[in-house]
Amino acid sequence: MRRLLAAGCAVAALAVMVAGCMTPEKAYRESNETGVSLATAFWQRQSGSTREFDVHRPADALTLRIALLAVVRGEQGVVFPVIPHAAPLAVSNGVLTLSLSDAMCVAARNDRAYQNMKEAVFTSALDLDYQQYQFETTFSGMMLGVLSGDPAAEKASGRTAGGIARKLENGAEIAGSLALDVVSLLRDDWRSLGLQGDLTMTLPLMRGAGRDIVREPLTQAERNLLYAIRAFEHYRQTYAVSVAVAYFDVLEYVQRVQNAVDNERNLAENSRRAEMMFEAGRMQRIQVDQARSDLLAANKSVIDARKSYEVRLDTLKMRLGLPPEARVEVDLAEVERLERKMARWAQASDNAVAAYPDEAESCRIALSERHDLFVTRCRVEDSARAVKIAADALRADVTLTGGASLDRARATGENGFNGEEAWDAGVRADWPWNRRRERNAFRKQLIALEQAKRALEEREDAVKQAVRSGLRNLVAARASYVNQVEAVKVARLRVESNALFLQSGRASMRDVLEAQENLLAARNALCKVLIDWQVSDLELLRDMGVLKISEAGMWLETNGEDHG
């Protein structure tokens, strides 16, 4: 009977232990709750957002990829996921057309590096959680049951122990434990009960003492989370610009293809007209051959333009996180929107940088607002603290120690517990005679501090140079736009007049061909300066650190509205 009772107690103890174990499901749930809570608190504090930080990759990223691949395979009735803040996606003639705003929304939810940056924030939050845990009260426990026997006696024994520990921010560490031992003979009515406990305390007085020294791992973990958030916000700015640049690059080559096709058609008409005039005796054969030669060159230009367009389209798809074989096109209406926008800008002011402060103030804003520069500046502070930590490691280890313990036992037939209590207090010192490693580490930290300062100086100079260059690019872009608008007008007039002069015999075929070539170049150049002006504006806002990105991933105009 006693054996069964002992076995039952052991099974019950095992069941309690298993119930308190950490399972993978519980670990995932608790770590996710903690990481999201910390990341949200720091993120909202830094960005001003009111949304909860979400580390998970959007489900529509995978479903969009599946839908695009299904279209490639020729499947019918493919349903596309609903992308928040984007227009409903639909395929027309087997091709998905994306506007700029839709492309930005898709990019923010599909880009792999974007997801990596979010996960870096989350993992930094988990690191912070562990460092906070180091200063919390922790509990430990243990249960042990043993059933043993020999020819003389059979016995059951058990041990239950619990502990508590706490590290304080001044460096003091307090730990206590309590254990209960029970032994029972199974054939005789004899039992023994033992009680053991202890309480210890250590307090560093020199090396490792002080709140700043003790809290350094926690301080660095907090700053690392802050850096991860700042890096994520900086990436959102740079990524939005990079997506816009890739999108505009495709638009430019769409126009280049269209211009090349129009030029090919016009040259084909010129070649046909030259043949007719030659047959009528109004043109020499050499001019006919010139027209034919330019037509063949135009055919080659169309081939090259289409190839360049396809390469840039694949680059855009990769930038959006979409499979390169996906049938995606850009919205040609974006060209008209861009033309109207640039025309409004040109009419609004003759000064391309009228909306910006002067150069000195722009640089000051950039030095204050850039997320990456903020991190670089904080790295100098980290290095300064590391020097302080390294200097502390050179000191002697002097620790105040103290403790108390008890050990009591009681057996069957005894009236009370027998045993003793004890206490101790002392000072433990380890003189700093062997500090070669610490000495070298201290010198290395001094060098690291100087390197961090130089890195900050270099970064500040790079930021100011980027702002100065951005202001010059804007001025040049506007001047080029105005110049190129006139160049296109002149080129069109030249083509029309030379065509008329050719009919009247006052111009040669070479004049017509050169006019046509100039018109093609002018139209391509106009499209390029349109895009350069918009991109220069975005890059300057990015370099100043004031480019505002919406939750959907689009940049915000000065009126606070999404560009899309």
Taking the domains of the chain in order of start, what are their residue ranges?
Answer: 138-211+397-430
Give me the chain's average pLDDT, please: 85
pLDDT over 50 at 1, yes or no: no
For residue 536, what pLDDT is reported?
Answer: 93
Mean pLDDT of all residues in 59-71: 82
Torsion of CA 6, 11, 14, 20, to 10 degrees: -120
DSSP 8-state code for residue 87: P
Tokens of residue 221, six digits? 């973990």
Mean pLDDT of all residues in 517-542: 88
Torsion of CA 450, 451, 457, 460, to 10 degrees: -140
pLDDT over 80 at 517, yes or no: no
Please choose, from the candidates 178, 225, 226, 176, the residue with its C-alpha nearest in 3D space to the C-alpha of residue 201: 176
Distance (Å) of CA 5 to CA 1, 66, 142, 156: 6, 61, 20, 10
* Distance separating the N- and C-terminal Cα atoms of the chain: 81
Please write down the HEC assignment for all residues of 369-406. HCHHHHHHHHHHHHHHHHHHHHHHCCCCEEEEEEEEEE
3-45 per-position pLDDT tens digit: 544 445 555 555 555 555 778 899 999 999 999 999 999 989 9
Strand partners, 139: 164
Least-confidence region, from 81-95, 391-405, 530-544: 81-95
Distance (Å, whole) CA 277 – CA 284? 9
Distance (Å, whole) CA 519 – CA 501? 17
DSSP 8-state code for residue 212: H
Q: Is 11 helix (H, G, I), strand (E, B) or coil?
A: helix
pLDDT over 70 at 413, yes or no: no
Residue 540: band (very low, low, confident or very high) from pLDDT cuts 50, 70, 90: very high
Residue 234: band (very low, low, confident or very high) from pLDDT cuts 50, 70, 90: very high
Please write down the HEC assignment for all residues of 114-176. HHHHHHHHHHHHHHHHHHHHCCCCEEEEEEEEEEEECCCCEEEEEEEEEEEEEECCCCCEEEE
pLDDT over 90 at 543, yes or no: yes
Residue 184: band (very low, low, confident or very high) from pLDDT cuts 50, 70, 90: low
Torsion of CA 10, 11, 12, 18, to 10 degrees: 110
Distance (Å, whole) CA 159 – CA 161? 7
249-271 per-position pLDDT tens digit: 999 999 888 888 887 887 787 78
Least-confidence region, from 30-39, 214-223, 297-306, 408-417: 408-417
pLDDT over 80 at 561, yes or no: no
Distance (Å, whole) CA 511 – CA 497? 10
Are 108 and 241 a contacting pair, CB within 8 Å?
A: no
Instruction: Work out the number of other CB atoms within 10 angstroms of the CB of residue 126.
Output: 16
193-223 per-position pLDDT tens digit: 778 889 999 999 999 999 999 999 999 999 9
For residue 521, what pLDDT is reported?
Answer: 81
Distance (Å) of CA 230 to CA 129, 248, 361: 19, 27, 23
Instruction: Report the b/e string of 504-531 with b at 16+ CB within 10 A.
Output: eeebbbebbbebbbbbbebbbbbbbbbb
Residue 547: band (very low, low, confident or very high) from pLDDT cuts 50, 70, 90: very high
pLDDT over 80 at 301, yes or no: yes
For residue 155, what pLDDT is reported?
Answer: 62
Least-confidence region, from 91-100, 170-179, 297-306, 412-421: 412-421
Pairing, β 328-330 against β 95-98: parallel
